[in-house]
Structure 1
Amino acid sequence: MRDLSLRTVTVMRYILPLREGGSLPALAEADDDFKYVLKFRGGGHGVKMLISELLGGKIAEVLGLKIPELVFANLDVDFGRTEADEEIQDLLKFSEGLNLALHFLSGAIAYDASVKVDPLLASKIVWLDAFITNIDRTHKNTNLLMWNKELWVIDNGASFYFHHSWMNFEKLALSPFAYVKDHVLLSQATLLDEADAFAKAVLNSEILRGIVELIPDDWLRWNDTDETPEQIREVYFTFMKTRLENSANFVKEAQNARG
């Protein structure tokens, strides 16, 4: 089985907030001397957003899509006490412990929807977002970057939205994902059947289980459920396994939306 593991870094320096993100991510430097886009557990959707980023990012990686390296990022208890901005100071205080970060792509520019993309690549990205139920890859907010003349996938935090209500996940796993109609690459996704066949050839229960096992226990102790971390992981696994087995539901929806 392929290595799915993430490195762990310690955040050493808060550089600046990236205020275009709803959860107020930041540019930060870690103890490996690399810069990262840091996603905070103390942000708006808390650890559930981090879980979405982690699961969506690793699935994208398995599908062979370009995505900045994901790392676990430790935030020390004393970090940010000298921050002058009270909003940011509170965010850092409530984010003590393990967070998630993506390698910063210096010089990358936001994807312009008028730029042509390889049809199979476009189809794979549309497939990914329909699979993980990502509602946030639209013309308004593409969450795609151009870097070194290649298309990179970022920001999967608006995925797996079933976990915000934590109800009817079996039904939602079978949903066709109507939001695909708003996807920025849908018009260029002319090879969805081929993307589906590819995804089903590289994703399987073993890989999905391995990805789910990456979620730290610390991110799975929720106030709104009595379920254990193991039980919550099982829900995520079952959701993805069911969705993969029934991918025809969302592939057909995407094809109909294109039509």
Structure 2
Amino acid sequence: MENHNPLQLRTVNVARYVTPLREGGSLPAIVEADDEFLYVLKFRGAGQGVKALIAELIGGEIARSLGFRVPEIVFAEVDSAFGRTEPDEEIQDLLQFSEGLNLALHYLSGAITYDPVVTKIDPLLASQIVWLDSFITNVDRTARNTNMLMWYKELWLIDHGASLYFHHSWDNWEEQAKRPFQAIKDHVLLPWASQLEEVDVAFSALLTAEKLEAIVASIPEDWLLKDRTPEEAQEARNVYKQFLTLRLNASKTFVKAAQHARQANI
């Protein structure tokens, strides 16, 4: 099988299930790996399956390439025997359906959820995060669920599995790539995002074709092969790359939509 990992992400083996994170809709968990570090494990056997893992990988690594703080993303192997001693039947089933390659993020021990009332974000950083989420169509950075953490007084971005929702319906992906992102109206940082045009210029230059290609090339073949032939899997990889390229070229459309939404909210 072809090896896709140009970003050189590490692969760890899950050694111990520590505790579920029940606030997550897909029931992620804190686990210990064979490198003795703790990770937040995202399961391929959860509701959205490997699509959520692909979105997490692409969204997180795009954020990292733009200079945001994102916990280290690793591939995580779950052994078939791993869940046999788990007493909770729901978790046991999840572990069984997640045998093989999963995705995990380094666990930021002691981090607290970002609260806009407590911590003020400057307009440039707010604009950068709003731009990112408009680009990757991330519906999950709202006041109810910010998916940002404060760790040692620095802001970290987490949970990008709800991004790239075009891949839940592939039929009109080209049209979706060029659309404004209407859900940006609910973004927790939108009121402070007053520098979107400046950010658009800077980030459009940073996200080169080579960077996008390297990120998409890192999607494990195994994830793309689910319910597909090898030829269809390669086509799916190409669609991800083309979607991101088209969306970047149409960035003025989603920037304008975010600006209009911000004006309507102020």
Superposition TM-score, scaled by structure 2 size:
0.94
Q: Deviations over 1:4-30 (max 9, x none)?
A: 221110000000000000100000000
Match of 2:165 among 161, 164, 172: 161
Give, as a single letter, the amino acid of the residue that structure 1 aligns with 2:156: W
- Helix, strand or coil for the counterpart of 2:133? helix
Match of 1:137 among 135, 141, 152: 141
1:89 aligns with 92
Percent identical residues: 63
Unaligned runs of 5+ in 1: none
Distance 1:224 1:134 in 2: 25
Distance 1:200 1:34 in 2: 35
Shift of 1:229: 1.7
- Aligned positions of 1:231-242 closer than 5 A: 231-242=235-246
Shift of 1:247: 0.2
1:210 aligns with 214
Q: Deviations over 1:85-126 (max 9, x none)?
A: 000000000000100000000000001022210211111111
Shift of 1:228: 2.1
Unaligned runs of 5+ in 2: 1-5
Distance 1:162 1:130 in 2: 13
Superposition TM-score, scaled by structure 1 size:
0.97
Match of 1:38 among 21, 37, 41: 41
Distance 1:22 1:224 in 2: 26
Q: Deviations over 1:118-164 (max 9, x none)?
A: 21111111111000000010011100101110111000000000111
- Helix, strand or coil for the counterpart of 1:198? helix
Give 4+ residue runs of structure 1 displaced > 3 Å after superposition.
Answer: 224-227
Question: What is the root-mean-square deviation of aligned Cα atoms in Å?
Answer: 1.2
Shift of 1:223: 2.6
Say whether 1:13 aligns with 2:16: yes
1:71 aligns with 74
1:229 aligns with 233
2:3 aligns with none
Match of 2:254 among 250, 254, 258: 250
- Helix, strand or coil for the counterpart of 1:175? coil
Shift of 1:224: 7.2
- Helix, strand or coil for the counterpart of 1:37? strand
**What is the number of residues matched between the two proteins?**
257
2:103 aligns with 100
- Helix, strand or coil for the counterpart of 1:12? strand
2:179 aligns with 175
